[in-house]
Amino acid sequence: MAAFLAAAASPNVALQLRPLVRRPLQSTALGRDSEPQRRRSVSFGAAQGLGVGAAAGFAGAFLGPAFSRRRLLAARRAGADLVDGEEAESSQTLAIVGLGNVGAQFDGTRHNIGFAAVDEVASKLLSSDRWALSGSIWQEAFSGTVLRLKRTASKGTDSYEEILLFKPSSMMNGSGRPVSELVSSLGLPESALVVMYDDMDLDVGRLRLRKSGSAGGQNGVKSILNHGLQKFLRFRLGVSRPKTGGREAIVGHVLGKFRHEEVDLSKEALGRAAVAVEDLADGVSWDNVMNKFNRPATATVA
């Protein structure tokens, strides 16, 4: 199967953001039913040796680490780093959270498609001339890793000036604490929070955005809801459901890789997801974005 996800990179550089209160990072293990499956996962990104190109999504995976480094270094030169202590302006910041499990053994699994979606957003926006990297690549903060992008070209009065991409480092089932910490520390309204994650009730290649709703059995979302966040945009990416078998089959399915015939559908879905996030950042309403992307794809992503 072709490699299609970049490995998550987390340099040991702390992002100093007031009023952040740093706590020791506590790794939350997967549920007991997931433990036996860890040995089955193999890292796509590590095999590709992408390193710093992790933020470059598919372009990094297919064109190699040299391309990824050039893209990110050029983007970084185009935008000034944040000074220590600078806070995100909550009314101008859109936070995009991808859910997944930390560790190379989980790269490329269905359960980590939320991480892959965040990588693809970074890839699309950094390849445009309207966004530039702000600060270092995947800085450690809020019990996770952060990539900050600043707008370099004006769009409109309703658009966001900054996008904050976030991957919790807590493992899937403990996602609520880091996401809650991110939102409360930066004073972000829930209307500026988008959470991207896998959904077994959607076919591979399908997207579904919702303004409300239950966790639907997704433990990362359940953890976020349990931490008091309710009014964020749920961004679901289809990973399908196994046709036979019980709980063990489900665990093996979500912690397994996409089948060869599903890879192109997954790539297309991630590309459409990145376009949807760009629309949200440009001030397109939730309702309009939902109407556009909740339908099955009928055309090639721009």
The domain ranges of the chain are 32-293
* Residue numbers in the chain where pLDDT is lower than 70: 1-90, 297-302
Residue 111: active-site member:
yes
CATH of domain 32-293: 3.40.50.1470
pLDDT at 298: 57
Q: Exposed, middle or buried by CB within 10 Å (0-12, 13-18, 19+), for 299?
A: exposed
- Which of these is catalytic: 111, 227, 253, 260? 111
Alpha-carbon distance of 51 to 69, in angstroms, equals 9
Whole-angstrom Cα distance, residue 266 to residue 169? 24
Helix 113-126 with 65-78: angle, nearest 10 deg: 60
With a CB cutoff of 8 Å and minimum separation 6, the contacts of 156 are: 282, 283
pLDDT at res. 279: 96
Let me know: does 147 contact 182? Beta carbons within 8 Å: no
Would you state the pLDDT for residue 88? 54
pLDDT at 6: 38
Question: So what's the pLDDT on residue 94?
Answer: 97
Residue 153: per-residue pLDDT: 84
